[in-house]
Chains A and B, each alone.
Chain A
Amino acid sequence: GQNIDQPTEMTATEGAIVQINCTYQTSGFNGLFWYQQHAGEAPTFLSYNVLDGLEEKGRFSSFLSRSKGYSYLLLKELQMKDSASYLCAVRDGDYKLSFGAGTTVTVRA
């Protein structure tokens, strides 16, 4: 089975940096994904890690440590539109995704 944990909520100020942690214990590992989901909408793909290290894409970066079963998503220069739920998902050997419960990020002016 899969066990994926991430914080429920985080609040930060516009322009600041927020780091969302995700820990996982899975029966198979074939990559870790981060998705952004606004209320009432479908998730949109943000990042993918399969090897250890940091992947940077503009204001968003994602880090993976496979030995520790740990990942984080870093959001820099926060904007109001970044207020959303961020989902950590682990892909297994059958290419199925298992999702964490999501972290709701609220950006305040």
Chain B
Amino acid sequence: GAVVSQHPSRVICKSGTSVKIECRSLDFQATTMFWYRQFPKKSLMLMATSNEGSKATYEQGVEKDKFLINHASLTLSTLTVTSAHPEDSSFYICSARDFNEREAGDTQYFGPGTRLTVL
């Protein structure tokens, strides 16, 4: 299957600082990437859809000015959590949509996730 990487895997920061998370598709081009967050023992909640070369589409209730998304190339999307607060602490996971997956038409492959802790 397709490989998606995320960096960093863990980050601890002070309240009020900004944190950037990178999501890369390593062996395929992804015009669409998705950003999720997951609380302990809860399911994934879609935050936004990131499209290469255009503005991200945010889900209802997600602050676009707080969670900045940039999809600058076909293999890279970034999520920046601005002015982070303790309630932003979570597991952030990206996925990339692979059009070349014959088995599923197209499917989403997930990165390994980023654990953000805001002190």
One of A44, A95, A96 near B106 (C-beta < 8 A) = A95
A96–B43 CB distance below 8 A: no
Q: Shortest CB–CB separation between residue A24 and chain B, in angstroms?
A: 13
Q: Shortest CB–CB separation between residue B33 and chain A, in angstroms?
A: 12
A12 within 8 A of B: no
Q: What range describes how many residues of A lie at the interface? A: 20 to 34
Mark each residue of chain A from 65 to 109: 1 if its CB lies under 8 Å from any CB of chain B, else 0: 000000000000000000000010000001111111110000000
A43–B44 CB distance below 8 A: yes
**Which residues of B lie under 8 Å from residue A102 when comparing CB positions?**
43
* Given contacts A95-B32, A98-B46, A99-B44, A41 and B105 within 8 Å (CB-CB): no
B34 within 8 A of A: yes
* Given contacts A42-B112, A96-B34, A96-B49, A48 and B107 within 8 Å (CB-CB): yes
One of A42, A48, A98, A100 near B93 (C-beta < 8 A) = A42
A residues at B contact (CB < 8 Å): 31, 33, 35, 40-45, 48, 50, 87, 94-102
The 5 closest A-B pairs by CB, nearest first: A48-B104, A42-B110, A99-B43, A101-B43, A42-B113
